[in-house]
Amino acid sequence: MTEASTPQTSIKKILPLILATAIFMQMLDSTILNTSLPSIAKDLHESPLNMQNAIISYVLTLAVFMPASGFLADRFGTQKVFIFSLVLFSLGSLFCSLSQNLTHLVISRVIQGVGGSLMTPVGKLALIKTFDKSELLKAMNFAIIPALIGPVLGPLVGGYMVDYLSWHWIFLINIPIGVLGILLGIKFMPNYKSDDVDFDLKGFLIFAAASLLLSVSLELFGDMQNITPVLLVFIMGFLFLYYYYKHAKRGENPIFPLNLFQVRTFRVGIVGNLATRLGISSVPLLLPLMIQIAYKQSAVTSGWIIAPMALTAIFGKSSVIKILDKYGYRQTLMINTFIIGTLICLLAIPDIHTSLYWFIPIIAVLGFFNSIQFTSMNTISIADLRNFQTSSGNSLISVNQQLAIGFGIAFGLIVLKLFENTDLINGEIHNAFRFTFLTVGILTILSGFVFRRLHISDGKNMKSKEE
């Protein structure tokens, strides 16, 4: 294992900022395109419906290449791979802004996706290897805030850029951020690597196929016309996961060793992330949709209604360490998930004649508790991993989060479409949204029981040292 010559104290100060920059860029890019698609479609002489390929290509590339991030970091070093990923992401962003047709845009988004698939997992891995367990919570807490702010600011920033500049700027904005990340990475990113590295190509291809099929099924669920092919793709994805399980059981050095799941806190963290994000991930999509479709407001207005979530996430960041130190991970995650589920249910109360301002306090409080949830889930997942498990465990956590967010968005859309076609809504589309929020909220409350599997003492080694 090697480290950069920069003093360790400087590395520890700057490294969370480097990871925060990467996360912000990726999360902003994942959502900023949504409000800009009609404008891009018009400029490229395409139907807005066809433009979904520009989003899907990025998501699929993330799902396919993320599993390789741990191996590449171990083989070539965290610094080299991280800088390479930022260069790729920035180049992809530049190519996106120069695209003359949809094919160019899709290819450019794939280049972006390859960069994005390595950027966050490798940055997070460097953080895990640099900080002691007692310091990691504080460092991760700082770095994770952009993951909360990005999806909220994305639609808002995208809406303004399209209205007042042009759609090209939603990609060009990444370049100065990317250059800053590269310069900081060259100076401060440690270059951790492992001498004992053997790449499980077969396992990677099987797992990549499973991720690809599951991601495709999620995208198809979101725009469901005929459920049969969607279910077939979905089932094939799970069959490939089972095939990977059989392979990993036999293999000597699988890309994701099964012994990761013998670590209880990792197992609970993975399942909890998947279960709770089903509800949490659908809200930033459903609420702006409802404001635009049912309340007939603009994209910028819907962006402003949801924006307080980003502000209160910062206050959540400053409170989470004290909360975890006082109540522990088990109690915090169970109660916090219950609160988040209840807040999502409250979004169902206002009827079509209620002022939009009613949503702002709910969204603001939701941002605070989301911040606590994400920091707690991310840190408990890696709390008890051994040094030799951190690369593969961190990669799997990243893939799981990406799929969980996709599942959440798809789940929200499926529930909305089911209620849209029932007599319960009395012909009012707003009622379909209200029933969807109730369903998603109740599911989130129930998902909190996953964290009962934690012990009261779990995460004690993650407690921050006193200042």
**257-467 domain in CATH 1.10.150.120?**
no
pLDDT at 455: 86
A 10 A CB-CB count for 323 gives: 17
Domain boundaries, the chain: 1-198, 200-254, 257-467
**pLDDT given at position 7:** 58
Q: How high is the pLDDT of residue 128?
A: 80
Letter string b/e over residues 174-183, b meaning 16 or more CB atoms within 10 A of that residue's CB: bbebbeebbe
Could you report the per-residue pLDDT of 340-386, keeping only the tens digit for each?
999 999 998 877 777 788 888 999 999 899 888 988 888 888 877 88
Q: Which of 427, 320, 328, 419 is nearest to 373 (CA)?
A: 320
Cα–Cα dist 317/308, whole Å = 15
Q: Which CATH superfamily is domain 1-198 in?
A: MFS general substrate transporter like domains (1.20.1250.20)
| Distance (Å, whole) CA 363 – CA 245 | 40
C-alpha–C-alpha distance, residues 112 and 209, integer Å: 20
Listed as ranges, residues in the chain with pLDDT below 50 are 1-6, 464-467
Closest CA to 444 of 357, 386, 369: 369
- Report the pLDDT value the prediction gives residue 333, as an integer from 0 to 100: 93
Q: One fold for both 1-198 and 257-467?
A: yes
Q: How many Å apart are CA 359 and CA 290, to the nearest integer? A: 11
The per-residue pLDDT for 337 is: 95
Closest to 109 (Cα-Cα) out of 43, 176, 26:
26
